[in-house]
Amino acid sequence: MVEEGQRAEKNRSNRGSSVASGRQHVNGVNLYYEQTGRGKHAVLLLPGALGSTRTDFGPQMKSLDKERFTVVCFDPRGYGKSRPPARDFPIDFYERDAKDAVDLMKALGFGKFSMLGWSDGGMTALIAAAKNPDLVNKIVAWGSNAYICKQDLELYEAVRDVSRWSAKMRQPMEEVYGAELFAKTWEAWVDGIAKFENRPEGSICMEFLPLVRCPTLIIHGEKDPMVPAFHAHCLVKHIKGSRLHLMPEGKHNLHLRFADEFNKLVEDFLE
Number of other CB atoms surrounding residue 3 within 10 Å: 12
Q: Are 74 and 31 contacting, i.e. CB atoms less than 8 angstroms apart?
A: yes
Is 224 assigned a catalytic role? yes
Whole-angstrom CA distances from 189 to 21, 166, 210, 248, 267 are: 27, 19, 27, 28, 31
Per DSSP (E only), the strands in the chain are 8-12, 18-26, 29-37, 41-46, 69-74, 113-118, 136-142, 216-221, 243-247
Is 252 assigned a catalytic role? yes
Alpha helices in 28-92 (DSSP H): 53-56, 58-63
Residues 6+ apart with CB under 8 A from 16: none
The catalytically annotated residue of 224, 231, 242, 255 is 224
Is 152 assigned a catalytic role? no
Letter for the amino acid at 227?
A: V
Selection from 243, 44, 236, 12 nearest residue 124 by Cα: 44
Q: Are 60 and 255 contacting, i.e. CB atoms less than 8 angstroms apart?
A: yes
**Euclidean distance between CA atoms 81 and 54, whole angstroms:** 9
The catalytically annotated residue of 119, 120, 152, 220 is 119
Q: Supply the residues annotated as catalytic.
A: 119, 224, 252
